[in-house]
Amino acid sequence: MVFQPIHEEEQVFVDYAIELVKKAGTLVRTAFDSPESKVDTKSSNTDLVTETDQAVEKLLIEGLSERFKGHRFIGEESVAGGAKIEWTDAPTWIIDPIDGTTNFVHRIPMIAICVGLAIKKQIRAGIVYNPITNELYLAQLGKGAFKNGFPIRASKNQFIAESVLILQLGSIRSPVMQKSFVDSYKTVMFDKQCHGHRSFGSAAINMVMVAQGSCDGYVEYGIHAWDVAAPSIIVTEAGGVVTDPTGSPFDVMSRKVLCAGTAELGRDLSACLTHVDFEPEA
């Protein structure tokens, strides 16, 4: 099937966003190479923000809004500052200026600038850029997924017992989240005997690892739209699947995600999980 753009300027939108993301990457790389960052906390001691997060989001939103009038924005730091999430049919940029802020603070080079484009509430494009490793992932609906210009493909593995899986525990450390994580981890690692477990500290990095076939599946509860919007289309355009952890259709606002190289593995993984529900963000 050939997918046609649903906005005549869609390619212009994406090309300009890539330019801005690369500029933002220079800012992030410079800050990463400096001795330290000014760090504040948001909702908890595990939810961090730096001045670089805020500067990158400002650069991206100001640049896009000046070029494309009438576009909407859902940005992590804007929402943290009190902005309301408005999920409409208008072209909407969903932005995480640094996914993996804890990694950034501790100078662990697994971070990502994430920019997703939704039109009529459909994710149409995703950019995930790690400026430390200089890896830029890009996907547009119907056009495939790429890393630094080269096509990537998700694995064809169907079985947990032959998989490397990612179960990540984010900033929410409630008793419910603890039980979900421990029970699910025990099942896939010990009962199902998967090949191994990895967790990279960034939802976007986790998802592009699945998209490029390095890992076979990933699950996380308590994430946000800006964590998963951009990488979700990279996974699906690489041939993988993205769903709700329960197996229901994926909702970018649902605060949970499961992705896998194959639908069969996704279903098997879903059946192993102790699920947690969240109030949708919009």
Could you confirm whether 101 is annotated as catalytic? yes
Rounded Cα distance between 127 and 56, Å, is 14
Structure confidence at residue 172 as a pLDDT band (50, 70, 90): confident
25 pLDDT more than 60: yes
71 pLDDT more than 80: yes
* pTM higher than the cut 0.85: yes
Rounded Cα distance between 75 and 62, Å, is 12
Average pLDDT over every residue of 95-124? 95
93 pLDDT more than 90: yes
* Residues sharing a CB contact under 8 Å with residue 236, sequence separation 6 or more, in sequence order: 139, 242
Position with higher pLDDT, 6 vs 211: 211
Please identify which of the residues 10, 53, 77, 99 carries the catalytic annotation: 99
Question: Which segments of the chain belong to CATH 3.40.190.80?
Answer: 160-271
Could you confirm whether 99 is annotated as catalytic? yes
Q: Are 71 and 92 in contact (CB under 8 A)?
A: yes
What are the two backbone dihedrals, phi and then psi, of residue 135, each rounded to the nearest 5 degrees? -115, 120
Please identify which of the residues 85, 98, 166, 223 carries the catalytic annotation: 98
Please give the share of the chain, as a percent, with pLDDT higher than 70.
93
Please identify which of the residues 10, 53, 76, 77 carries the catalytic annotation: 76
Choosing among 3.30.300.10, 1.20.1440.80, 3.40.50.2000, 3.40.190.80, the CATH entry for 160-271 is: 3.40.190.80
What are the two backbone dihedrals, phi and then psi, of residue 134, each rounded to the nearest 5 degrees? 55, 45
Please identify which of the residues 53, 216, 220, 227 carries the catalytic annotation: 227
* pLDDT score, position 5: 66
Please give the share of the chain, as a percent, with pLDDT higher than 90.
83
Q: Are 180 and 276 in contact (CB under 8 A)?
A: yes
Average pLDDT over every residue of 109-137? 97
Per residue in 212-233, pLDDT (tens digit) is 999 999 999 999 999 999 999 9
Which three-class secondary structure state does DSSP give residue 223?
Answer: coil
Average pLDDT over every residue of 121-148? 97
Per residue in 185-200, pLDDT (tens digit) is 999 999 999 999 999 9
Nearest by Cα to 224 from 89, 114, 88: 114
Structure confidence at residue 1 as a pLDDT band (50, 70, 90): very low
Rounded Cα distance between 251 and 40, Å, is 30
Sign of CA dihedral 44, 49, 50, 51: negative
Question: Which segments of the chain belong to CATH 3.30.540.10?
Answer: 10-151
DSSP state, residue 239: T
Distance of CA 125 to the CA centre of its chain: 12
* pLDDT score, position 180: 92
Please identify which of the residues 101, 102, 187, 236 carries the catalytic annotation: 101
Please return the burial class of 134, using the count of CB atoms within 10 Å of its CB with bins 0-12, 13-18 and 19+: exposed
* pLDDT score, position 39: 64
Any idea which fold 10-151 has? Fructose-1,6-Bisphosphatase; Chain A, domain 1 (3.30.540)
Please identify which of the residues 10, 53, 77, 96 carries the catalytic annotation: 96
Could you confirm whether 227 is annotated as catalytic? yes
User: Distance between terminal CA atoms of the chain?
Assistant: 31
Task: Choose the weakest-confidence range: 6-10, 39-43, 51-55.
Answer: 39-43
